[in-house]
Chain A
Amino acid sequence: MAVVREITFAEALNEALDYEMSKDEKVIVMGEDVGVYGGIFGVTKGLYEKYGSERVKDTPIAESGFIGTAVGAAAAGLLRPVVELMFIDFLGVAYDQIYNQAAKIRYMFGGKAKIPMVLRTTCGAGFAAAAQHSQSLHALFIHVPGLKVVMPSTPYDAKGLLISSIEDDDPVVFIEHKGLYGIKGPVPEEPYSIPLGEADIKKEGKDVTIVATAAMVHKSLEVAKKLEEEGISVEVVDPRTLVPLDVDTILNSIKKTGRLVVVDEGYPRCGFATDIAALAVSKAFDALKAPVKIITPPATPVPFSPALEKEWIPSSEKIEKAVRDVL
């Protein structure tokens, strides 16, 4: 097998954007500092030089205005915008355009409109960025019918899922964990797509299932590797897309292992982790050999001090303990 080159998560996203922009003139990129600057995390680097200011649009700090602009351009059938919301925490100033407009237009119009747009945004703690630049708010998007929600964990998934998201005719919220931008992994040079709604088993195992998202996938894999040495076989399932959710893959894994730990960086109440726990007890109760364990941050804002933040983020130790607890 040929050696696949390794690139970073950010570079993989950039390749997906570049490919889609080269293929379809209707694809444009909009957001704060996405142009000359190349995006605050470098994801749109080089696109401005290649496609120009008309298709790589720097916007004023007017998130509701420019996300709404994307919704209108998509609804009119004239463009397929990829909009960048710099931090998921900024959602509050623009939420109406996402949850009342983008998410509902198709349904309210009786299926007679399409909203082919992608809202790229960043999440995740670990950078001493404090309470308004560190959250993982994916549950707020999952909650609202009409939005597809994608949350990749590897460079390979990032590229394939972003291509699928841009080619999808529905509004997709594409959430990138800031801690993943620098990680490297094998990514084919040619374009490829990963269907929305397909989970990936990142590691097979037979004793315990961990369902984890984004950066938590990597922590879970570390724990799985460590426990493997003790003969504990952990299966790590990465849903990759949270809406639509690959219920079958998750349930099949739970039915195989009989034990479930859910690890997510979202808040604990009404979150993705509780959703998966509810799925398990509703649909796989008979297979469960132990109570479901949920590992999330506490129900507090994200603290600033690295000493506090370290405690706030789900740690490998907590994940390991949870696995041992359900065994």
Chain B
Amino acid sequence: MVVEEIPKETLLWMYETMVRIRVHEERVAELFAQGKVPGFVHLYVGEEAVAVGIMAHLRKDDFITSTHRGHGHYIAKGGCIKASMAELFGKKTGICKGKGGSMHIADVEIGELGANGIVGGGIPHAVGAALGIKLNGLDSVAVAFFGEGASNQQNFHEGINIASIWKLPVVFVCENNLYQISLPYSKQQTIKSVAERGKAYGIPGVAVDGQDVLAVYEVAKEAIERARRGEGPTLIEVKTYRFRGHFEGDPEVYRSKEEIEWWKNNKDPIKIFEDVLLKKGIATKEELEKMWEKARKEIEEAVKFAEESPWPTKEDVVEDVFSTPTKGVLVWQW
């Protein structure tokens, strides 16, 4: 897709959102190393173009389901970074009141049906949101994000099949970052592209370079418009690469430093897009630099908010199990 066909404000939103995700993730890596962010943290550095290229087509009333590597999806869907940062810290002001953490960041209000600690676990939830959309006669869509590792999971196959037979408005986005923790893609399955699996369920399957946000944007546009028109689901395989380990603290014994450096130097989605914006005169170097500064400021404010926020209290442990009051539930407290 030629860049001239995309509104300037969309292009700038895409660049800025990728920058916000990058700055956020690199800051979270520091905070984790400093012991301020506890738990398991999976970062999205290098994969920013995927969430952004897809989310450029989504509205607030569209739904997504995310993964353990979910910060980028949340930010691109319009999630509040202050609330998610406080969540990463485990604070009461967190988006999940400190009960979810990195792997469960969610905001149903903006259609973010949750990161998920179970690989493939969220795929059928997007199918369900799409079923709800269809039966309520809405023109929203649902997007399921998952990794290539999840494409061997039952929920991938069952979810896509159900969406196909019921012709639901859902787009399946497989973020193929080439490693299932340590196992390379070539040892996970014998087909060259996960997109080929669309054929098995009678839906279009298309592969795209996930380091090129414009390419992702173009493929997503067609798939999402198709879903919105009621023509059913599409499987998109986005070929990408994570610049950091599977989780923070990963010794990365399964890939070489040279390989990582090659991707950083040649396939950084932000650099690639920046070159296009500058070359086409869509933005100046100064304008783009301002976006970085703004993002750094935003993230620092979020960190400050998180650090200054109160911890949840012991009373909070037993809250939020059920939505209706129940007697006898906490019998275990003999």
User: Which A residues are closer than 8 A to B by beta carbons?
Assistant: 28, 54-55, 57, 59-60, 62, 64-79, 81, 93, 96-97, 100-101, 105-114, 145-146, 148, 168-170, 196-197, 243-248, 278-279, 282-283
Contact = CB atoms under 8 A, between A and B. Distances in A.
B323 A170 contact: yes
A233 B94 CA distance: 56
Given A65-B159, A110-B94, A282 B334 contact: yes
Interface in B84-143: 94-100, 104, 106-109, 111, 113-114, 116-118, 121-129, 131-133, 135-136, 142
Contacts of A243: 329
Nearest to B323: A169
Given A74-B128, A78-B132, A62 B107 contact: no
B115 to A, nearest CB: 9
A112 B64 CA distance: 16
Interface stretch (B217-225, B232-240, B297-305, B314-322): B314-322
A101 B123 CA distance: 11
B129 A78 contact: yes
A148 B125 CA distance: 20
Given A78-B132, A96-B118, A245-B331, A60 B323 contact: no
A70 B128 contact: yes
B63 interface: yes
Contact of A59 (B96, B133, B162, B326): B162
Nearest to B124: A68
Contacts of A168: 324
A196 B326 contact: yes
28 contacts: A64-B124, A65-B161, A66-B162, A68-B155, A69-B124, A72-B113, A72-B128, A72-B132, A75-B113, A75-B114, A76-B125, A76-B132, A76-B133, A79-B132, A79-B136, A96-B118, A105-B114, A108-B104, A110-B96, A110-B99, A111-B320, A112-B106, A169-B323, A197-B327, A245-B328, A246-B328, A247-B327, A282-B334
B331 A62 contact: no
Interface of B: 63, 65, 94-100, 104, 106-109, 111, 113-114, 116-118, 121-129, 131-133, 135-136, 142, 154-155, 157-159, 161-162, 165-166, 319-324, 326-329, 331, 334
A170 B322 contact: yes
Q: Which of A68, A75, A107 has the most CB of B within 10 A?
A: A68
A67 B123 CA distance: 12
B135 A69 contact: no
Contact of B106 (A64, A96, A109, A196): A109
A196 B329 CA distance: 11
A54 B137 CA distance: 12
B126 A72 contact: yes
Given A76-B125, A106-B320, 11 more contacts: A62-B162, A68-B125, A69-B124, A75-B114, A76-B63, A76-B111, A76-B128, A77-B108, A93-B154, A111-B320, A112-B109
B129 A72 contact: yes
Contacts of A106: 320-323
Given A72-B129, A78-B129, A109-B114, A28 B135 contact: yes
A246 B124 contact: no
Contact of A145 (B321, B324, B334): B321
B155 A108 contact: no
A291 B329 CA distance: 26
A93 B12 CA distance: 45
A64 B97 contact: no
Contact of A78 (B127, B133, B165): B133
A83 to B, nearest CB: 10
Contacts of B135: 28, 54-55, 78-79
Contacts of A101: 116, 118, 121, 125
B162 A69 contact: yes
A168 B175 CA distance: 37
B321 A169 contact: no
A230 to B, nearest CB: 34
Nearest to A279: B331
Contact of B158 (A54, A62, A78, A148): A62
A244 B132 contact: no
Residue of B117, B161, B165, B320 most packed against chain A (CB within 10 A): B320
Nearest to A250: B328
Nearest to B327: A197
Nearest to A72: B128
A73 B128 contact: yes
Point out which of B100, B104, B319, B328 has the most chain A C-beta atoms below 10 A from its C-beta.
B328
A243 B142 CA distance: 33
Contacts of B159: 65, 68-69
A88 B281 CA distance: 63
Given A72-B127, A170-B322, A108 B334 contact: no
Contacts of A282: 334
B98 A110 contact: yes
